[in-house]
Amino acid sequence: MISRKEFLKQTAYLAAGSALPFWLGENKSSSNNITILYTNDTHARLDPFPDNAVEFAGLGGIARRASLVRQIRREQKNVLLLDAGDVFQGTPWFDMYGGKVDLKLMTEMNYDAMAVGNHEFDRGPEGFAEAAQKAGFPILAANYHVQNTPMNPYVRRLLVKDFGGFRVGIFGLGIQLDGVVPRELHGDVRYRDPEAWARGMARSLREFHRCKYVICLSHLGYSYRDARIDDIKIAQRVEGIDLIIGGHTHTFLDNPVPVTNPAGKTTLISQMGHGGVRLGRIDLNLSERNSPFGTSSRFYTIGKEID
Amino acid sequence: MRRKYILFLIPALLFLFWGCASSDAMKDSDAEPAAEIQYPDPDPEISFLLDTYRESLNEVMGSRVAVVTDTIRFGQPESPLGNLVSDAIRYRAGSELGRFVNIGIIGEISFRLFLTPGDLTLGDVLEFMPYDNHLVVLTLPGYKVAELAHQVADQGGAPVSGLRFRINDGRAAGILVNSQVLDRNRDYLVATSSWVANGGDRYPAVWEYTDRIDLTDVDVRELYIDYFRSRREIHPITDGRLRN
């Protein structure tokens, strides 16, 4: 059994020593896979839904999710663990600790990144910053201008993860603040056009950071009938994004929804409801050459065993 | 033993599913999802960490607000829990404004729990209504109140206070407001939450108000804590306000 670190070192060495990068080689072992695990709108649901919950009684719970993630990490070498925002607000855990416990436990689980949801503003930029000190992973929102606010040290536009030479780019998008977050709670944080920023991020990740796969962590919402920007519209209008992991609308998408982007390629959209009832999973098989990579999807409903 | 057996089976099942949910299947969003129910044991490290925070949580959140005498649920057309939550906002709005408020309305969708017999704790109430909203009082003309009643009827019933009517084929019939026949030409005061007033629920009639008072100091969650605390004992009550 080798550690993940050693594995990455070894694969980097192999990639450097061979004519082809490892992901184009013939080896079909799980080292040629990247497993993307994701949640959204967990809303302080650290314990499972109580027995008197109107919906989802007994489902979810961060400790069970952690155990499932640990099991998947044992089977898969390259794992990304992501969240699309609204970790804050929803149970007394938030009233008591303001999101600190959630972010601490997500750090223990080795989450790689999360997006900024509108509820992340529920205790203002100061409250966000206080909790974010517990986050050992970047919190992403490309279209929020956070300079000169307490959120500045914790919010980043993008993140690049390198799996033995195969680079995955991740960026975040936040929802409009007007009408969603009271002025006094978002303070000097400013919202900017998510479509323009998505375009800029996708281009930067592909061209400058040389990413082969681009993930958008979006808290815009899956789909609106009116003109409000949503994940579907981003997918239709912006090229260069392979996967949108969405949130905000608490939508349960059993299968990722494929949308043809302006480059004629497919952008997949997924969202896992809310409350940590589901853990989403998308596997990229890098040794398959069909466009863009062999992809498979599934989700886990995290529940308690019923006798 | 049974759980171990399931855990052993899962990797094998995953392997089988691999082919089912290939990239081809993903082109069709109606494809059979590769879904799995997982009931792993809680991760011991995460559980341990969580428990280090739990004691303080229980100390604060475990304090008793009231005693619930019987199971109190939402339901249709009328329900004891729907009556409780809509009466609470109407009464509080009246005492805040020092005026009679005619109607209270809020959707079940704003609530996450039903009430079970025994102590109702502070934590229960905060979880019952988990989001920060404030109390809003709208002025609606009578014909808009009629529309609102029809929208409630169309849903099969919803938490309302101050309104009485029969639901007849998805329409409100014989609408009474505070025991008097609805007057389409006068104004009524309607108490609700800021979320509902801002378009968060399924009552379009309340979006077209003629006046709106935002009682921003009255947090709806605190309103419920105060209301339950003042009652001490909470009983399920229905009074036939909505009938099929």
Cβ neighbours of B117 in A, within 8 Å: none
What's the mean pLDDT when you consider all of chain A? 90
Does the residue A66 lie in any domain? no
Contact A258 B31 (CB under 8 A): no
pLDDT recorded at residue B32: 65
Does the residue A226 lie in any domain? yes
B30: pLDDT strictly greater than 80: no
Q: Which residues of chain A register pLDDT less than 50? A: 1-29
pLDDT recorded at residue A44: 97
Domain total of chain A? 1
Contact A64 B39 (CB under 8 A): yes
Over residues A157-201, the pLDDT tens digits come to 999 999 999 999 999 999 999 989 999 999 999 999 999 999 999
Residue B179 to chain A, least CA–CA distance (Å): 32
B1: pLDDT strictly greater than 60: no
Residue A169 to chain B, least CA–CA distance (Å): 21
The rounded distance, in Å, linking the Cα atoms of A63 and A74 is: 17
Does the residue A293 lie in any domain? no
CB atoms inside a 10 Å sphere around CB B48: 11
A38, A44, A40: which is closest to A222 by C-alpha? A40
Query: Which residues fall within 8 angstroms of residue B95, CB to CB, at 6 or more apart?
Result: none
The token pair that represents A123 in the structure block: 């205790």
What's the mean pLDDT when you consider all of chain B? 89
Q: What is the ipTM of this complex?
A: 0.86
DSSP letter at A53 equals: B
Does the residue A104 lie in any domain? yes
The token pair that represents A178 in the structure block: 């007007």
B25: pLDDT strictly greater than 60: no
pLDDT recorded at residue B75: 96
pLDDT recorded at residue A290: 54
Q: Report the chain A residue with the minimal C-alpha distance to residue B21.
A: A296
Of A54, A255, A256, the CB nearest to B111: A54
Cα angle value A124/A273/B37 (rounded, 5°): 130
Does the residue A242 lie in any domain? yes
B6: pLDDT strictly greater than 70: no
pLDDT recorded at residue A138: 97
B131, B105, B127: which is closest to B115 by C-alpha? B127
Q: What is the mean pLDDT of residues B71-90?
A: 98
Judge whether A198 and A222 are in contact, CB under 8 Å. Answer: no
pLDDT recorded at residue B159: 98
For an interface test with B, the pick among A95, A260, A289 (most B C-beta atoms closer than 10 Å) comes out as A95
pLDDT recorded at residue B200: 87
The yes/no answer on whether domain B65-243 falls in CATH 3.90.780.10 is: yes
Contact A67 B43 (CB under 8 A): yes
Cα angle value A228/A175/A167 (rounded, 5°): 110
Residue B168 to chain A, least CA–CA distance (Å): 27
B213: pLDDT strictly greater than 60: yes
Q: Amino acid identity, residue A91?
A: T
**For position A248, which CATH number holds?**
3.60.21.10
Judge whether B87 and B104 are in contact, CB under 8 Å. Answer: yes
Contact A296 B34 (CB under 8 A): yes
DSSP letter at A32 equals: G
Is A193 in the B-facing interface, judged by CB distances under 8 Å? no
Taking only residues 258 to 297 of chain A, the set having a beta carbon closer than 8 angstroms to any beta carbon of chain B reads 258, 266, 268, 279, 288, 290, 293-297
The token pair that represents A160 in the structure block: 């690049």
Question: B77: cis peptide before it, omega within 30°?
Answer: yes
Helix, strand, coil proportions of chain A in percent (round to 5)? 30, 25, 45
pLDDT recorded at residue A286: 86
- Domain span at residue A191 reads 26-45+82-274
Of B38, B74, B131, the CB nearest to A89: B131
How is chain B split into domains, by residue range? 2-61, 65-243
Does the residue A40 lie in any domain? yes
For an interface test with B, the pick among A46, A73, A96, A102 (most B C-beta atoms closer than 10 Å) comes out as A96
Three-class DSSP labels, chain B: CHHHHHHHHHHHHHHHHHHHCCHHHHCCCCCCCCEEEECCCCCHHHHHHHHHHHHHHHHHHCCEEEEECCCECCCCCCCHHHHHHHHHHHHHHHHHHCCCCCEEECCHHHCCECECCEEEEHHHHHHHCCCCCEEEEEEEEHHHHHHHHHHHHHCCCCCEECEEEEEECCEEEEEEECCEECCCCCEEEEEEEHHHHCCCCCCHHHHCCCEEEEEEEEEHHHHHHHHHHHHCEECCCCCCCEEC
